[in-house]
Structure 1
């Protein structure tokens, strides 16, 4: 939680916003005001306040719609929301609860009651934040401790494979090595996601050939598709240079290509296309699989989300891709191809923004 706590005040009547600021500012709260639902969502996503005080009756996007949008976004999902309303009907309160409101206060209200409700929800938020931090620290410790034995299993199994004459023993060792590598990748993804969430992503920007990064990722991914005869094709100029973090962007390419291979049928083709579009680079990765179910589309890039497009992982790969692309000043999305299959598309500026 911020210090001092940040409150987002949302009301289409300017006089009401002035009154609310007069209540909270002397109590030591930092406030931001929004006069429309669209402005409220923009500020909430950019600044992630500690609490939202939300008027229900607003033209255009009313408080119910704003609350639903806050709850649908991973960045704002857990922000406490108090709805300020002149409505007293039980049906309206039920609608607010269904939209995701944490509490209500009816107009006219006393300053003391409003402040008490805000303090109560902020205490709950602080407790949740502390619990989440404790959980994350504990999980990081466990994952770090798992890495060493996993590497030991992998190393010993590879040594035994070299000494193995073949037959069932060699096949079992191959299974052990494959499984250990999968666990090691999941550990890597978890630690990477934790670093990204904690804001510890520092890009090492330099001039890189983005096409060469894609080729390298395809070479890394190609052995995994041989058994099912998955073809990898690249449609790109011979060279396209941009200022990027080559290691991080290579991770994005590898993740998207491997993801596409998993959903492609035997004998299918995964196509990577790269090209300049104005002052940006556009990349698409196409597969010939079943496409993306509508129920999965909205949450596809969130943590631990797999939906019907299950990959057998822990649901971190696309979250990591999104975070890396956005750190470069780009954007990423997924869509269904007109001819069938899925398409993952991301854009990057040729010259990324300066990091703070």
Structure 2
């Protein structure tokens, strides 16, 4: 720090002659001098003046120089101020004591002008380096906070507002703003921080700035713009100068892959407050803002795509169910006029095929609803006998055709609050799978309370071919089919649907299997539903 920088030096000595001498030596080199005659006055002036260097006499009445050093160094909230002790003591132990408590240098009495100036310059250089290091650390901390903020949410208004507040503090601006382009609507809007107390609305202000102002010039050229004084600079468009006066301004284009996302503007109410040296750090933050805006746009597009997919799946399942209703109606008419048992068999086969198709459509719809976080559960008390009867009514015939013994052992005292309809479909899916992959033997369904009586565990055990070990962990994956299966049973959605429903209830599902012995699939359901009304599941 040179004399031209008007460094502030505090001289502390209880002798007026010493103060006058030191003031004369230093003033001639352009330093700004403040004096104190005792330790207490020195501490108060440090608080008021914030000197860049302190010259401190050691031997003073009341507080000694050592006491003052200890008091200053004990205050960790104060920035670094170099301290040079001035003393007639020449004993090495006195110097060691001063250095140990926080002094930076010693100057012997009588003071020599050349030595004084050399040591003052050295300590001021040290002060400058320390201040620059602190500024660099603060800048890095601020950049880190901005990066954390930009990655904390996809709410554009929130991240931009909080980032602008951090940037305003970081570079000492008065206000900051980001003009954002809504690519879909082809409109512009502005986010300002800190928000002014009251600014009357200017019609199409953002559009005017983009068309004729500094922000528009930054976008058109693709280059940062710096206006050091807006008075007389035609690049600046004064829309709110009567309330939010701007004399210095930065405008940084926010462009990614040739797509205009917006413009970052920082302003100050006084001229010449920004400089080209600040541009690198502003560009660093601008790059992070560009990434945040890009990610937010991608998220918006993803949500729109999810909504379109949900609409498509809903329409698809609706259109698939329409013809099925017509087929079932025709079968009902045929059944009333059938002539023999063979006719009834064909009608029953067609009905079962329609029923299987209806279940597939329901599985498709529910799986995609669960993935989108829209699967709804309607909770009611499960009636074990009704569950057993529904499974047997639907699958006993299929089991008998394959000479497979189907048994269901669900205790009548079992009490569960769950979505009964979806839970029943889970059991039917699992039993249906077990029958399909069992050539002989049995399929057995059991249910029982867990040891801690907080959940019920259902198990569906078959005596089929089993599953190869490397496939067991994947059987609940969507569209997965075991490599050992030669035929193409089902769509690969049934077990995925089972997993979605079980997890939506807060339970777990898993499989155990041995080749040529059979497979058992277990799942758990908490005894009490999370809500007894409808619950929207937030997804996996």
**Coarse TM-score class (shorter-chain normalised):** 0.5 to 0.7
Alignment CA distance shift 1:152-1:285 (3 Å): same
User: 1:319-330 residue pairs with structure 2 within 5 A?
Assistant: 319-330=496-507
Question: C-alpha offsets along residues 170-192 of structure 1, whole Å, 9 cap, x if unaligned?
Answer: 65544433332322222222223
Q: Please give the secondary structure, in 1, of the residue aligned with 2:520.
A: strand
1:270-311: CA deviation from partner (whole Å, max 9, x where unpaired): 011211112221111011122223443333223333344576
Q: Is the 2:459–2:523 Cα contact (8 Å) retained in structure 1?
A: yes
Counterpart contact for 1:230–1:268, Cα < 8 Å = yes
Q: TM-score, normalised by structure 1?
A: 0.62
Mapped contact 2:464–2:516 kept (Cα < 8 A):
no
Q: Deviations over 1:231-261 (max 9, x none)?
A: 1123444421222232222122111111111
Cα pair distance change 1:26/1:249, threshold 3 Å:
closer
Q: Judge conservation of contact 2:416–2:528 (CA < 8 Å) in 1.
A: yes
Q: 1:27 to 1:261 in 2, by over 3 A?
A: closer
After superposition, the C-alpha distances for 1:50-73 in whole angstroms (9 at most, x for unaligned) are xxxxxxxxxxxxxxxxxxxxxxxx
Q: How does 1:168-207 map to 2 (within 5 A)?
A: 172-207=346-381
Shift of 1:164: 2.8
Structure number with larger C-alpha Rg? 2
User: How far apart, CA to CA, are the structure 2 residues paired with 1:261 and 1:201?
Assistant: 28
Pairing partner for 1:288 from 463, 468, 485: 463
Higher RCO by CA contacts (8 Å cutoff, separation 6 or greater): 1
Contact 2:467 2:515 in 1 (8 A): no
The 5-angstrom pairing of residues 83-94 of structure 1 reads: none
1:203 is paired with a residue whose SS is: strand
Residue 138 of structure 1 corresponds to 312
Distance (whole Å) between structure 1 residues aligned to residue 326 and residue 511 of structure 2: 38
CA distance in 1, matches of 2:364, 2:377: 19
Task: Say whether residues 1:213 and 2:213 are aligned partners.
Answer: no
Q: Which residue of 2 aligns with 1:300?
A: 475
- Secondary structure of 1:241's aligned partner: coil
Residue 165 of structure 1 aligns to a residue whose secondary structure is coil
Residue of structure 2 equivalent to 1:269: 442
Partner of 1:165: 339
Does structure 1 conserve the Cα–Cα contact (< 8 Å) formed by 2:384 and 2:412?
Answer: no
CA distance in 2, matches of 1:203, 1:148: 25
Aligned to 1:29: 153
State which drifts further: 132-141 or 343-352: 132-141
Alignment check: 8 A CA contact 1:218 1:257 kept: no
Matches within 5 A, 1:203-242: 203-210=377-384, 212-242=386-416
- What residue in structure 1 maps to residue 207 of structure 2? none
SS at match of 2:378: coil
The whole-number CA distance in structure 1 between the counterparts of 2:404 and 2:479 is 27
Is the contact between residue 218 and residue 254 of structure 1 (CA under 8 Å) also seen in structure 2? no
1:331 aligned residue: 508
Report what 2:326 is aligned to. Answer: 152
Q: CA deviation at 1:124?
A: 4.5
**Aligned-partner Cα distance in 1 for 2:377–2:316:** 27
Task: Find the aligned partners of 1:134 and 1:182 in 2 and give their Cα distance.
Answer: 27
Give per-residue Cα distances to partners, 1:65-118, cap 9 Å, x unaligned. xxxxxxxxxxxxxxxxxxxxxxxxxxxxxxxxxxxxxxxxxxxxx655565556
Count of residue pairs brought into register by the alignment: 263
Unaligned runs of 5+ in 2: 1-139, 156-283
Equivalent pair of 1:302/1:318 in contact (CA under 8 Å): yes
1:349 is aligned to 2:473: no
CA distance in 1, matches of 2:294, 2:360: 38
CA deviation digits over 1:3-39, x for unaligned, max 9? xxxxxxxxxxxxx9996443241687369xxxxxxxx
Paired with 1:141 and 1:123, the residues of 2 have a C-alpha distance of: 27
Identify if the C-alpha distance between structure 1 residues 190 and 23 changes in structure 2 by more than 3 Å, giving closer, same or farther: same
- Structure 1 residue runs of 5 or longer lacking an equivalent are 1-15, 32-109
Q: Distance in 2 between matches of 1:167 and 1:219?
A: 20
